[in-house]
Structure formats: structure tokens, C-alpha cells
Structure 1
Amino acid sequence: MKINTRLAALLLGLLLVPQVSIGATWYTIELVLFTRNTTPAASGEVWSQASGDLDWDSSRSGNYALVPGGSLRLSGIEQALKQAAGLTPVIHTAWQQPAYSRNAATPFYLKSDREIAPGTPLIEGMVKVSVSRYLHVDLDLLMRGAPAGAARLPGGF
């Protein structure tokens, strides 16, 4: 009987300890985004016409840490994509962030260095990483083509 009382007191004490030291698991996310240099008809893909609007309201500032360029682990993949016929890497970036539930996760904003006009990136959007039973990634990307009347960009855009 004495052992059960001590055990109950110990368990109750553990329940009352604040869980400040327990935080979200941090992940390092590295992304290589590339385009296929084919026409939509040749690829067989059918995409609806995008509105051109991103959900900027959901792009609250998050708790992110950029990974320095020299620490990127997929540089070999990016080089292979550059050498492959018909593929053009447009974004290669990495960051560290905590993973929260889908409702609590905040999106990470990204954009390509390549622009279709000054101040207008070829691709921009948001990546939201969340966790439940598995790790989930939601992408909301906008790819723009060359402005009307302009010469096509390298890669057919």
C-alpha cells in the first residue's frame, strides 16, 4: 500500500511539471524547384487557369532560419537538373523550421531569382510544412509567363 501511494505521488508530481522544455520538432527543408521546358500540350498535363493571386493573408512571419548556401545538400541534384535536357532549376533554397499542426503552421515565402520583369519573379509562392501522423507539405506557387509582347524567356517562358 505504501508503494502505491509513493507511485501515485510521483506520477502526480510529473503531471504538474511545466512542459516548457518540450517544444516542436525542428526540420531542415531543402527545395529544388525546376521547370520542364515543354509545352503543356506536349506534356499531357492540363492545368486550370490560375487566378494569379496567392493567399498572402496566411503568410504570417514564421520562426524560420535560412540555411547558408554552402550547406545545401542537394547541390548535386541541382547540377544534374541543369545538365538534363528539358529541365531548368529555378529555385534552390533551404531553411529550418518547427513543424506544427496544419492549423498552427505558418507558410514560408519563396521566390525565384529569375524575373520576367523587374521586381516580378518567374515563380513565387508559399510552402507550408505541418505534421500530424506524417509530415505534410502544402505548396501554393504562382508561375508567370513572359509579359504580352515580350520575347520568350529562356526555357520557353
Structure 2
Amino acid sequence: MTRELPPAHRRAVRVLTLLLGVAVAVSVVHYTDNTVNYSDYPESATLPNPSQAVVLGSWFFFTAFGALGWLAFRAGEVRRAALCLAVYSGSGLVGILHYTVGGTSRFPWWRHAHIASDITCGVAVLAFAVWSVVRLDRSAASA
């Protein structure tokens, strides 16, 4: 038996659907470039450098958590969804590591654009996850 979600939660589902749609599209561009042009990305002298296969596999890992988060959120399971979405946000947030390695100043503008967009999407998904627990989970508990 499925319970009817309150209007605020239904609106939040639409926002999350749009947010994840954009985040997944941006991540496809970023991770495809990372994988196909792996040798164009500088390596770190201090941090572990993921292999080309790990970069590609991590997209599937993270995106699975995004899908699980979306499904849980639609089902009204806010805390489970928030946890999955927080994991998924790592897909974009990990892009920050590109800028901890020298040599990124030589990237073309479009590479910076998709990296920055992916990071921004990661921040937005994480913010949505936190907001959903603080706002929606609290209002559901008081209802």
C-alpha cells in the first residue's frame, strides 16, 4: 500500500528529478572526457591516481546511488534517500581533486566548464539531501 505524499514532498520530487537529470547529464560529459582522454589529465604526485577503469566504474557506482536516492525519495523514505543522494553527490564533488594537481591551467575552457558544472551539481545534490532531512523529514515527523 502506497501512502499519498504531501504537496510539498511532491513538488520536491519534481525538483529532485530535474536536479538529478542535469547532474547525470553533466556527469556523463565529465566522466566520458575523463575516460576517453585519460592521458590528458595530470597525475598527482601525492594522492592515489585512479586508473581509467576505476574512473569509468565510479560513474556507474555513483549513478546507482543517485537512482536509489530518487526512488527512495519518491517512496517518501526521506532519510534513506538523503543518504543515497549524499553518496551520489560525491560524483561531482570528487571533481575538486582535479584542481589539487598541477597542470589543470592548461585545460581547454570546455573541460573547466564541465568539471565546474559537475562540482556545482554535486554541491546542489548534497544541499538537497541535507534540506530534505532538515525540512521534509521534520515536517513529516510532526504530521
TM-score range, shorter chain: under 0.3
The TM-score, its normalising length taken from structure 2, stands at 0.26
The TM-score, its normalising length taken from structure 1, stands at 0.24
Q: Which one has a larger percent helix, Structure 1 or Structure 2?
A: 2
